Amino acid sequence: MKSFPIINNEELLNCFNRLNELYINDKRKILEAAEIATIGQINQLTISADSIENQITIIKNRIKRTADRSGQNLLIRIIEELFTALLANGAIGVSSINFIDNSFFSLADNSKIQYNQSNKWFWIWQISVEGNELEINIGLRDKTYTPSVIVPDYVLQYIQQGIIAFNYNRNAAALALMSIALEGTLKDILDSPAYFNRYGTPTQANYEIKNMNIFPETNGFRIEFPQPMPTLHSLYLPNNGGPTHHTVRVKRLIKRGIPFIEIRDVNEILDFWSSDTVVNPSVMRINGLGTAIDIARNHARILSPVDLPLDLDEIIQSIRNKLIHLSGVNLAQQVTTDAGLITLEDFIKDKNKVSDTVFSIGETINNLYTKLMNGTL
């Protein structure tokens, strides 16, 4: 239960008292749940001949214990066992709806820990933008699985702080923190045995190198390929009235002190100018958010547009790179949105765009960890 935040004693007792009131006509069910919840523990709670009220008080005192979150963990287990028993055998005057309505903890940051009808615990945040209320639900625990943790604590910390930052209008911090949480999630998924067992090691193709002869001429350069290419150059000859040339973009690069020329916008000439023969597939290393998204989207397709809309890929990667390494110059960089190009600074100022991104990342993280836990990745 390490994924749960620390819940203060007052709130734990408020929840326990609500359940006592709910089970006013069937309090023995609470004793039975506490007994089951502590099976195997050194100080197991056992139903005795003492009065029910005295035994309830003993449970309440155990819930007050803060060392190792033992009291908090006890109440969480009691709630889970109570609900299991309620669905199986019922309880006098208690419905499943009433039970769920009373099984929550309110936190100081106005978020809430809520148990639900599916036997899961969720951490719930509300974000509000121009009168529109959005609810972000992040799974904490599902006791029907081992391990029972849904989203781990080290990711939850970034989500929590990201949402707090958003609610305090610190949009840049919110986006940066949420992008870190997403990167951590994707790395966890892609490093998991469940991923490797099903999809194998992600690889990328390394293609063979071909020679290109360059002949200087009076008006420029002539290029010839002495070795065969996938498509004959004659098939690229223009039709009457068609374009007489194709424009590409060329950029000089220096990698490890060695100069390279990068050619962009080459889709039309790819099979005329380069080989399609793979000589050595190489393992793709997850060295950043961009690579993680690429592998998740295109290798195993575990990150679908339903999980995370495609138009957010570039935005999230720009946020991750530009905001983590923040500068005024980076804020002036442009990102592509569904409304066109805008600067990162203008994107950050748009509360609606930021809320959409925060919400989508939160939903994606929850969906991916849930799939990892229940074996549906």
pLDDT in tens, 256-291: 889 999 998 888 889 988 988 888 766 666 778 888
Q: Which residue has the higher pLDDT, 199 or 125?
A: 125
Residues whose CB falls within 8 Å of the CB of residue 236, separated by 6 or more in sequence, listed in order: 268, 269, 272
Q: State how far Cα 4 lies from the chain centre.
A: 17
Note the pLDDT tens digit of each residue in 109-143: 999 999 999 999 999 999 988 888 899 999 999 99
158-176 tens-digit pLDDT:
999 999 999 999 999 999 9
Using the 3D structure, point to which of 279, 312, 328 is the last residue of a domain.
Answer: 279
Residue 152 has pLDDT above 70, yes or no: yes
In a domain, 110, yes or no: no
Percentage of residues in the chain having pLDDT higher than 90: 58
Which residue is associated with the tokens 């979150």?
Answer: 69
How confident is the model at residue 243, as a pLDDT? 77
How crowded is residue 260: how many other Cβ atoms within 10 Å of its Cβ? 9
Contacts (Cβ under 8 Å, ≥6 apart) of 319: 175, 176, 179, 344, 357
CA separation for the pair 160, 57 (Å, rounded): 34
Residue 341: the pLDDT is: 87
Residue 251 in any domain: the answer is yes
Domain limits for position 53: 9-103
Task: Give the pLDDT score at 107.
Answer: 96
Going by C-beta distance under 8 Å and a sequence separation of 6 or more, which residues neighbour residue 144? 119
**Amino acid 336: pLDDT:** 79
Q: How confident is the model at residue 37 (pLDDT cuts 50, 70, 90)?
A: very high
CA 184 to chain centre: 8
Are 123 and 142 in contact by the 8 Å Cβ rule? The answer is no
Total domains present in the chain: 3
Q: Mean pLDDT score of the chain, rounded to an integer?
A: 90
Residues 16 and 90 in one domain: yes
The pLDDT score that the predictor gives to residue 16 is 98
Residues 53 and 192 in one domain: no
Q: In this structure, what token pair is assigned to residue 312? A: 């957010």
Final residue before a domain boundary, out of 234, 260, 279: 279
Same domain, 179 and 39: no
Whether the full predicted model's pTM is greater than 0.85, yes or no, is: no
CA dihedral (184, 189, 192, 196) in degrees, to 10, reads -140
Least confident range from 24-33, 199-208, 360-369: namely 199-208
Tell me if 224 is assigned to some domain.
yes
* 188 and 292 in a common domain: yes
Are both 198 and 290 inside the same structural domain?
yes
